[in-house]
Amino acid sequence: MKKKIYIIDYDLISPLGVGKSEVYQSLKNNFAAEGKITRFDIAGIPFHIAAEISRDLKRLCSDEVDAVKNTVSYDRKFELTVSILNLVKERFSAVFSLVKEDRKGVIFGMGADVSPFELIEDEILKHTDSSNPYFKSILEINQKSGAHNLMFNPYDLHAIYLAEKLNLGAFQKTCLTACAASNQAVGLAYEAILNDEADVVLAGGSDSILNAMAFSSFCKLGVLSTITENGKTCKPFDVNRCGTLGGEAAGLCILASEDSVNRNNLKPLFEVLSYGNTLDAYQITSPDPEGRGMIRSLEQCLSNANINASEIDYINLHGTGTRLNDQLELFALQNVFGPALKNIPASSTKDRHGHAIAAAGIQELCILCLALENNFVPCNMNLEKPIDTEKSDLVQYNNRYTKLKTGMNCNYSFGGVNTALIIRKTN
């Protein structure tokens, strides 16, 4: 008999709010968090709209040591990680304190790190008379900042920080799989517990593309929306969709084994029924045009859950609003779910909070959790002319309130990584 694995707690920092309560209110009110970019100089960049976290997060980092505060001051992703940890620390620590150090671990989804242009430029200009100014700049920065530095913040800095703060001694792992990273982190946490590598695992992710280098790179790729009408930038599954909305987020959840739940008298919120994960092996920035990887990940997830497609009550779609992704995602779902898809409400919430890249999965899993807990289906807010009306139920115009128990979260990424999770309410 397959072991049961549960989600004990979760939380989120998003353009929709700091904490899941604020996020849910924004979802209910159909709040679109997009606006003119303020986080960096947008001169010379053709797209000026993004979904920023507008709240000042300094209070959530105020008790950290100086080295962490220094890193937070220039590394937005690390600021988001430190902030989400401190938002949930009291609650999460209470759970982890019940578990032996070598039976609890962390798996964290991250995006490629980017140093602010202006800081690199300032350092290099100091050494313009040197034959190798870049090398001297790196040496000076490392000497000043120690392990936390401007050039070489290690990718696993986030997972190590979380492990140290919560005394997670089983393992620390980092997923660098772009838009699927944090959904994959949760899936790998599920598998780690299933394989008896740990009893309890912290999983989640942090990312932001709201810096000059990352944002301009996405501009070059042609995946950012060219629509400038306020609140309508991202239009997932619409005939007139023309790109996604850049964003940022950080989220965490605790997964625990059934034995650990019973032994420690924990109260789980959801059971993780299954996880699907595949690779297209097609192209770095384009999905397989036949959707074979997507289809296999959905088939895996549904098969491993040992449920019928009709038992799923809501699907939170990846739905980036790009030409290729949306059409292919629906095609894959139709192949796997067949006629049952027509009776399953589905939506993407990226039109509200933007695309948080490596943190997309954890942001949308948290939103799925909120949807199930509140029997709430967020609509595709900017959907005016759906690309499909016959084979799927793309929720349009208004949010729905209906009884929900089981939901699916889907994320797909550059490099062709395809992930899907199915969770079910425990009460």
* Residues 247-271 pLDDT 10s: 999 999 999 999 999 999 999 999 9
Give me the amino acid identity at 198: A
Distance from C-alpha of 256 to C-alpha of 9, rounded to nearest angstrom: 10
Q: 19 CB contacts (<8 Å, ≥6 apart)? A: 11, 12, 13, 87
Distance from C-alpha of 399 to C-alpha of 165, rounded to nearest angstrom: 39
Q: What is the dihedral of CA 321, 384, 420, 206, to 10 degrees?
A: 50
Our separate counts of H helices and E strands in the chain read 14, 16
Distance from C-alpha of 142 to C-alpha of 155, rounded to nearest angstrom: 16
Global confidence as pTM: 0.92
pLDDT of res. 75: 86
Residues of the chain with pLDDT under 70: 113-130, 132-153
Residue 353: phi, psi to the nearest 5? -115, 0
pLDDT of res. 222: 86
CATH numbers and ranges of domains, the chain: 5-113+153-425 (3.40.47.10), 118-152 (no CATH)
Distance from C-alpha of 179 to C-alpha of 200, rounded to nearest angstrom: 25
Q: Render pLDDT for 161-179 as a digit per residue (tens, 0 to 9).
A: 999 999 999 999 999 999 9
Give the residue carrying structure tokens 């299933």.
194
**What's the token pair of residue 198?**
């740990």
pLDDT of res. 150: 45
Round the CA-based radius of gyration of the chain to a whole number and report it. Answer: 21
Distance from C-alpha of 407 to C-alpha of 186, rounded to nearest angstrom: 15
Which run of H or E residues covers position 14?
A: strand 5-14
